[in-house]
Structure 1
Amino acid sequence: MAGRDPLAPLSTLVDVVFALIVTFALFSAVVTGLHLFGKADGAQLFSFSDHVCVEAESFMASVGEDDAPAEPLAKPGSSLQTSGTMFCTQNPSWAMQWAASVGSILSMMLLIGACLLARRVIRAARRDGIFTAVPAKLTRTLGWFLIAMAFIAPVGTDIGNGIFMASAAAPVLELAWTMEVTSIGGPDWTPLILGICALTFSRVMYRGAALQDDVALTI
């Protein structure tokens, strides 16, 4: 029992998540490439599809039958759903598909980065010990990365959605791609909480490393 690796459960979890993400990323790249070159028209991955819809957080229009607008609210090939907040486009351009997918792609890339950092923390802790300077520093870096991830991913999603909706909306609406970024939205709470926990644990690791140095000096 004493010889068991205390980091084994966490290491296994990180390795499994990392393997799944990498596999999905490779699969996504292949399917997306086939779709963009017209080889997988029926496939739908992220927002790479023949019919893409994006819901606005900062815009709402009245599109009911009783108060139909005098001018179309969407460009030809696009439509504004009855909720008044969702723009849909049939056969969107590559640029519109990329814009609608940027949030999901960015989140996946950031998650890969977080897994790589976590693997470095585990390797350093196994090599030097948990309560040493190197793994403590890497854990702090991981914490700040996760906190940044909590804000970068939502902002990226808002920018992509804003670009898509500005491309789908009719000129009469005068929608700019920045409209979603200026809307009030919260961070992604999961990486934010994990990042705060990582920063807290890094301080504990630094304190443990300092105590070990004090003990070593007294012996």
Structure 2
Amino acid sequence: MAEGRKLVEPLFSVVSVVLRVMVGVVVVGFVLSLFVDGVHVGWGGGSACVTADGVSGSSSDTDAMFGAREGVDVSSTPQYCIADPSGSQQLLEVLRDLPSFILMVGGLLLLNRLLRGAARDGAYTAQTAARLRLLGWWLLVGSLVSEVTQAIAQAALLATLVEGGRATVGNMWDIPFLAIFTALGLLTFARIMQEGVVMREDIEATI
């Protein structure tokens, strides 16, 4: 275990610390939300705000307000806030952040499981390759689902705050290129690792 752990350091220690800190923050925040006014974790308790990405405007008053030099135009993107949101608005507010949080926590848990298994059983095993493949699929599918879910939730929330059809998912959807290419890289390395495991087993069988 000790020898195998050297192969996965310092990532193993960093992931373990981050997971502990995240669990501690969530637990402390939840406890404080029960007893301290103004502290809220998760559902309800505060205002709901959304920035209307893709909608902008400018005026001479805006230019003067932000100290623009002569000949310089300042464009502003409006942010809509409601102090007392309804239950559905609170749900949409939560859905704007929850998917990415679940993606991150799930990814850290899978990564921690991968590193622990590699430290215990060895890096070049079928189990390690399978866990690496699972992490890759989680990141690939999860990043796309998270981005789409959050974009839909933001557009739906904005639609409850503005008049007209200015809330569109297209203005709020960003393709997570980095996550996609990272996931594809993990899946590729998982396949390479699996082939290496098969070759090693064949060599051991012939000796």
Tell whether the structures are fold-level matches, with TM greater than 0.5. Answer: yes
Q: Which residue number in structure 2 is paired with residue 52 of structure 1?
A: 48
Shift of 1:174: 4.4
Shift of 1:111: 1.3
The yes-or-no answer on 1:107 pairing with 2:128 is no
Over the matched positions of the two proteins, sequence identity in percent amounts to: 27
- 1:126-156 CA-to-partner distances (Å, cap 9, x unmatched) read 3332111111011011001011222122212
Runs (5+) with no aligned partner, structure 1: 67-81
Shift of 1:45: 6.1
Runs (5+) with no aligned partner, structure 2: 62-74
Amino acid of the residue matched to residue 212 of structure 1?
R
For residues 192 and 29 of structure 1, do their structure 2 counterparts lie closer, same or farther at Cα, with a shift above 3 Å needed? Answer: farther
Amino acid of the residue matched to residue 213 of structure 1?
E
Q: Which residue number in structure 1 is paired with residue 193 of structure 2?
A: 205
Q: Name the CA distance, whole Å, in 2 between partners of 1:51 and 1:150.
A: 27
Q: Is residue 29–residue 40 contact of structure 2 (8 Å, CA) maintained in 1? A: no
SS in 1 for 2:182: helix
For residues 168 and 27 of structure 1, do their structure 2 counterparts lie closer, same or farther at Cα, with a shift above 3 Å needed? Answer: farther
Q: Name the CA distance, whole Å, in 1 between partners of 2:148 and 2:34.
A: 28
Shift of 1:209: 0.4
Q: Is residue 137–residue 202 contact of structure 1 (8 Å, CA) maintained in 2? A: yes
Q: Name the CA distance, whole Å, in 2 between partners of 1:30 and 1:94.
A: 22
Q: Give the CA RMSD over aligned residues.
A: 3.2
For residues 161 and 148 of structure 1, do their structure 2 counterparts lie closer, same or farther at Cα, with a shift above 3 Å needed? Answer: same
- Normalized per residue, the structure richer in helix is 2
Shift of 1:202: 0.9
For residues 95 and 104 of structure 1, do their structure 2 counterparts lie closer, same or farther at Cα, with a shift above 3 Å needed? Answer: same
Shift of 1:29: 3.8
Amino acid of the residue matched to residue 93 of structure 2?
A
Amino acid of the residue matched to residue 207 of structure 1?
E
Q: Structure 2 matches for 1:107-186, cutoff 5 A? A: 107-170=100-163, 173-174=164-165, 179-180=168-169, 182-183=170-171, 185-186=173-174
Q: Structure 2 matches for 1:74-113, cutoff 5 A? A: 83=76, 85-113=78-106
Q: Is residue 7–residue 119 contact of structure 2 (8 Å, CA) maintained in 1? A: no
SS in 2 for 1:130: coil
Q: Is residue 51–residue 89 contact of structure 1 (8 Å, CA) maintained in 2? A: yes
SS in 1 for 2:173: coil
Q: Is residue 21–residue 108 contact of structure 1 (8 Å, CA) maintained in 2? A: no
